[in-house]
Amino acid sequence: MPISHPAPQDGVLRMLEHAASIGVWRLDLDRGALEWSEQLAAIHRAPPGYRPDEPLAHYTPESRAKLAPLLQACIAEGAPFDDEAQVLQLDGRRSWVRALGQPVRDEAGRIVAVQGAVQEIAPRGARAATLLRMGAALSSGEAFVTIDANGQYTFLNEQAERLLGSDAQQLLGRRLWNSFQKTVRLRLEEQFRTACARGARLEFEELDARLAHWFEVRAFPFAGGMAAHLRDVTSRRKAQEQLRLLEGSISRLNDIVIITEAGPFSEPGPRIVFVNEAFERRTGYSRDEVVGRSPRFLQGPNSQRRALDQIRAALEEWRPARVDLINYKKNGEPYWVDLDVSPVWDKQRKLTHWVAVGRDVTERKLAEEKIQHLAFYDALTKLPNRQLLMDRLHAALSDPARPREGALMFIDLDNFKVLNDTLGHQKGDTLLQLVAERLRSCVSKGDTVARLGGDEFVILLENRGDKPLDPAKGARAVAERILAALGEPYVLPGYLHHSTCSIGVTLFGHTDRTVSELLKQADLAMYQAKNAGRNTVCFFDPEMQAVVSANAALASDLRQAWRETQFQIDYQPQVGHDGQMIGVEALLRWKHPQRGMVRPDHFIAAAEETSLIIPIGRWVLDQACAQIAAWAHRQERRHLTVAVNVSVRQFRHPEFVDEVMSAIEQSGIQPHKLKLELTESLLADGIDVTIAKMGRLKAMGVTLSLDDFGIGYSSLSYLKRLPLDQLKIDREFVKDILTDANDAAIAKAVINLAHSLDLDVLAEGVETEAQREFLARQGCHSYQGYLFCKPLPIDELEAFMERLPVEAPA
C-alpha cells in the first residue's frame, strides 16, 4: 500500500488507518528524523504523538534481526519489504504485525526517505470484532462486506443484504464473483486473488447477472482478506450507456450537429462545446478549431439576415427554431443548411445548452433555385421573364409599403425578324443576348429589365423613394440611353450588324391602373414609335387608345374577311408611249359587307401586323399568275404583264421566293410576265439579304420594279446593286409635277437615274394629259393613272380592253 504522507492529517485516511488497524511511519534519511502516525502509536499502545528513537526499536529481538537487513537493503538499494513480525507494545504485550517498507526518492532518483506501514494481525475472534466495528464505522448507510482470501463473504451489513437481495445467512460463504456474469467471473477471481496477495486495493464495476444491476465494488485488503463497499450504480451506468450510444450515433449521423452552451447572445455569443464528425466533414473545420467559439464564424456575406434574426428571436424566447440558412465552409465555399435549433434544459428547468441539427440541403436549394430560375427567368438572356415582370408590376402597383410611381417601357428591336429569318436563329439569339446586356447597363440596379419573348423587352422603372425622380424625366433619360446603346453596331459571328429599336413608355403613379392596362399602353406607345419611323421613343397618350381600338377591330374584321373570301382584285392598266396597254397592276380590294369597298391603304398595314399579309399576298400572286395564264391564250393579250405589290413582310418571309416559283410553275406562265413591285422601304435595312433574294427572283426571270421610288431611305447608293428592271415614279410627285418645282425635279432625277442605270421608268397617278406630256418630255414613256383608266374588276377591265384598239406588238 503506497503511503505518500508520513503523518496523515486527512480525516478519512485516519479513519481508514484506524479501521484497518494500520499505522504508518516515515524515516527521513537526511535529517535522521522518524515520524509515526497516531494509529501506529495506538498499535503500540502508546499515546498520540509518541515516536521512538529508531525505526525497529519496538520489535522483539527476533523480529528486529529479521527486519534490520530488509530495512538496510531498502535504504541502500531501494528494495521494498513486506514481512510479518512481532512488536513489543508499551504495555509489555506482544502483538503480531505485518511490516511494510518502501523507499522514497527525490526527483533525481536519490533515496531520501523510507516509509512504511504496520498492520496489526489480530487473532480471528478479535479480528471479526474489529471488522464489525469497521463496518459500522465505515458503512454509514453504504453497503459493506468483508471477503476472505477465497473470495467468500465473511460479513455483510444490512445495506449489503438489501442491495444483494438476500440475507446474510444465504450469502455468507458464497463467493463475491459468483453473482457476476460468467464471462467476467474468471477475470474477477484472478484480479481478486492478485489484489489479496499483493495487499492491493481492488475496484471494479460489473453487472450482477442475477439481479441485473450494476455494482461498484471498492475493496481494500485487510488481514482477513478484503473489506469492500458496494454501491448500486445501475442508473448511472444506464445514463452513461445512453450517453455513449447517443454520442456514437450523433457522431455517425450524416446531419451536422453543433452543441453550444446557453450563453448570452450578445458578442461573442454562445460557445460551441461539441460538433460531430459530419460537421467536421462538411465544413472542413476540426472539432478543436471550433470548440469554444461562437457559431457566428460560420456565417458570411450571403447568410440571410432574416433567417439569422429568426433564430435569434426564437433563442431569446427559449423556443426551438427551424430555418434554411447559407453557411460557409473553411475554404469559403457556401452551403445551404436546413437548421433545427432546440433548447436543452436540466432537471431544474434551467437552460443549459442549444443543440443545432443541420442537414446540408445545398443540392436541394440549387435545384430549387434552378427551377425558380427556369420559372422566372428567360433561359436565353437570363433576364426576368413575363411571369416575374408581372409579379413585380403587381407588387409595384399594389404594395402599400412601396411608392407607386414609375414608368413601364416596351422595347422592340426594329426589323429583328429579318435578321432572324435570313441570318439564322443563332445569330438572332446572339443579338438578343447582346441587347439584354446593353439594356441592363442602361438602368439602375433596382429596375427590372425583362424579356417577354422574341425581340420584346420591357423595363420597369420604379421610384423607390430614396431619391424621388420625376418618372417622365427619368424614363426619357433611360429611353435615350437605350436608343443610343442599342444603336451601336453589334459584332455577330462573321457579321457586323446595325440595329435600332422602338420604345413605348407609359407612366404610373397617379391614377389607378391595372397591370394589363399598363402593359397595353406601353405596347401601344411602342407601336406608335414604330409608325413614327422607328428608332424613337413614344410616350403613351389616351388618343392612341382610340386608334388602337379601331385597329384591333379592323384586325378582327380582316381575319373574318380572309375566312369568308371577301377579297377581290382590280386591275389598272399600264400604258406605253403610244397609249397602248403594256400591262396591268393588280390591286387588292376588300368587299366589306357593311363598309362596302375598302381600299388597301386602310387595311394593308393591319394585314402586315397580323401576318395575314402572308396568305393574302400568296393569294394575290396566284390570282395574278392565273390571269397571265388566261391571257397567254389570247393573241391580243399575251404580251400583257401583271404587276403585283409585295409588302415588306411578305418579301422577308423565308419562303417568299419559293412561293413565287411555285406560283409560276403551277400556272405555267412565262416568268417575265409577272412583275413584282417592291417598295423602297425594303432597302431600309438588311440590304444584303434583300439583294440576294432579288437576285434569286431575277434569276427565275421575274420582272422587278421598285415602287414609290424617291420617297426616302436615301438608297441611291444601293440602287446600282439591285437587279431591277423598272423604277416607278410615285404618284405623290406626279400629282404636283406641273406646279411644284421640287416634285418636277425629283421626277426628272428619277427618270435620268433610270436611264443611266438602263432601267425602264413608269409614272403612276397620271391624271392629266399635261402631266403625261411633261413626263414624256423628260423621257418617261410608260404610265398608269386615271388619265387612262381606273383600277377595274377583271370583267370590267376585259370590257374596257375590248373597246380599246389593242394592237399587240409584233
Ligand X SMILES: Nc1nc2c(ncn2[C@@H]2O[C@@H]3COP(=O)(O)O[C@H]4[C@@H](O)[C@H](n5cnc6c(=O)[nH]c(N)nc65)O[C@@H]4COP(=O)(O)O[C@H]3[C@H]2O)c(=O)[nH]1
Positions that interact with ligand X (CB under 6 A): 572, 587-588, 599-601, 604, 617, 620, 645-647, 677, 707, 731, 764-767, 784-786, 791
Rounded distance, CA 23 to CA 35, Å? 11
CA distance 602 to 616: 15
Q: Which amino acid is at 259?
A: I
Beta bridge partners of 326: 336
How many whole angstroms separate alpha carbon 474 and alpha carbon 57? 114
Residue type, 392: R
Question: Cβ 647 to ligand X, closest distance in Å?
Answer: 4
Q: How far is CA 272 from CA 260, 402, 498, in A?
A: 4, 42, 62
Task: Return the SS3 of 265.
Answer: coil
Cα–Cα distance measured from residue 672 to residue 675, given in angstroms and rounded to the nearest whole number: 7
CA dihedral 160, 164, 165, 170 (to 10 degrees): -80
Buried b (16+ CB within 10 A) or exposed e, 622-642: ebbbebbbebbeeeebebbbb
Residue whose CB is less far from ligand X, 224 or 791: 791
Radius of gyration of the chain (CA): 56
Question: CB of 530: closest distance to ligand X in angstroms?
Answer: 18
Q: Fill in the amino acid letter for 370.
A: K
Q: Which lies closer to ligand X via its Cβ, residue 187 or residue 602?
A: 602
Closer to ligand X at the Cβ: 522 or 761?
761
Q: How far is the CA of 808 from the CAs of 148, 579, 694, 783, 803, in angstroms?
A: 150, 12, 29, 17, 14
Comparing CB distances to ligand X, the nearer of 86 and 647 is: 647
Q: How far is CA 189 from the centre of its chain?
A: 66
29 burial via Cβ count (<10 Å: 0-12, 13-18, 19+): middle
**Least distance (Å) between residue 371 CB and ligand X:** 46
Strands 641-646 and 674-679 come out as parallel
Cα 583 from chain centroid?
Answer: 68
C-alpha cell at 554: 379592323
Identify which of residues 101 and 791 has a Cβ nearer to ligand X in the complex.
Answer: 791
Residue with cell 440549387: 366
- Comparing CB distances to ligand X, the nearer of 37 and 415 is 415
Residue 273's contacts (CB-CB under 8 Å, 6 or more residues apart) are: 259, 260, 261, 291, 353
Residue number with CB closer to ligand X (77 or 601)? 601
State phi, psi for 333 to the nearest 5 degrees. -75, 135
Smallest separation, CB 650 to ligand X (Å): 6
Smallest gap, in angstroms, from Cβ of residue 617 to ligand X?
A: 6
Q: Are 8 and 24 in contact (CB under 8 A)?
A: yes
Q: Which of 741, 752, 679, 677 is nearest to 715 (CA)?
A: 679
Type of residue found at 564: E
3-state DSSP call for residue 356? Answer: strand
> Which lies closer to ligand X via its Cβ, residue 21 or residue 572?
572
In whole angstroms, how close is the CB of 713 to ligand X at the nearest point? 15
Residue 382, sorted as left (phi over 0), alpha (psi -120 to 50) or beta, turns out to be left
Between residues 208 and 708, which has the closer beta carbon with respect to ligand X?
A: 708
Q: In terms of DSSP H, where are the helices of 633-686?
A: 648-652, 656-667
Contacts of range 559-568, beta carbons closer than 8 Å, 24 or more positions apart: 559/610, 559/612, 561/590, 561/592, 562/612, 562/615, 562/616, 566/590, 566/591, 566/592, 566/593, 567/591, 567/616, 567/619, 568/793
- We find the least distance from the C-beta atom of residue 701 to ligand X, in angstroms, to be 21
Tell me how far, at minimum, the Cβ of 520 lies from ligand X, in Å: 28
Pairing of strands 153-156, 202-208: unpaired
Name which of 339 and 646 has its Cβ closer to ligand X.
646
Q: Please, what is the minimum distance in Å from the beta carbon of residue 553 to ligand X?
A: 20
Q: Which is nearer to ligand X, 294 or 681 (CB)?
A: 681
Q: How far is the CB of 433 from ligand X (least distance, A)?
A: 34
117 in Cβ contact with 100 (< 8 Å) = yes
Residue 413 or 598 having the CB closest to ligand X: 598
Q: Look at residue 371 and give its three-state secondary structure.
A: helix
CA distance 380 to 400: 34
Return the C-alpha cell found at 368.
430549387
> What is the smallest separation between the CB atom of 555 and ligand X, expressed in angstroms?
16
CA–CA gap between residue 222 and residue 135 (Å, rounded): 13
Q: Which is nearer to ligand X, 289 or 659 (CB)?
A: 659
Would you state the cell numbers that stand for residue 677, as one nine-digit string? Answer: 413591285
Q: Between residues 480 and 773, which has the closer beta carbon with respect to ligand X? A: 773
User: 452 or 706, CB closer to ligand X?
Assistant: 706
- Of 762, 758, 788, 759, nearest to 776 (Cα)? 762
Closest contact distance (angstroms) between CB of 570 and ligand X is 7
| Shortest Å distance, C-beta 577 to ligand X | 18
| In the complex, minimum distance from the CB of residue 619 to ligand X, in angstroms, rounded to a whole number | 9
Cell numbers 453557411 correspond to what residue?
327
CA nearest neighbour of 643 among 663, 656, 627, 667: 627
Which residue do the cell numbers 422602338 mark?
502
Residue 414 or 730 having the CB closest to ligand X: 730
Shortest Cβ 567–ligand X spacing (Å): 9
Task: Report, in Å, the least distance between residue 708 CB and ligand X.
Answer: 6
The nearer residue to ligand X, 521 or 784, going by C-beta atoms, is: 784
Round to whole Å and give the CA distance between 737 and 252: 98
Q: What residues are paired with 81 via a beta bridge?
A: 101
* Of residues 17 and 730, the one with the C-beta less far from ligand X: 730
Minimum distance, C-beta of residue 791 to ligand X, in the bound complex (Å): 5
Residue 95's nearest CA partner among 129, 62, 76, 121 is 121
* Shortest CB 379 distance to ligand X, Å: 36
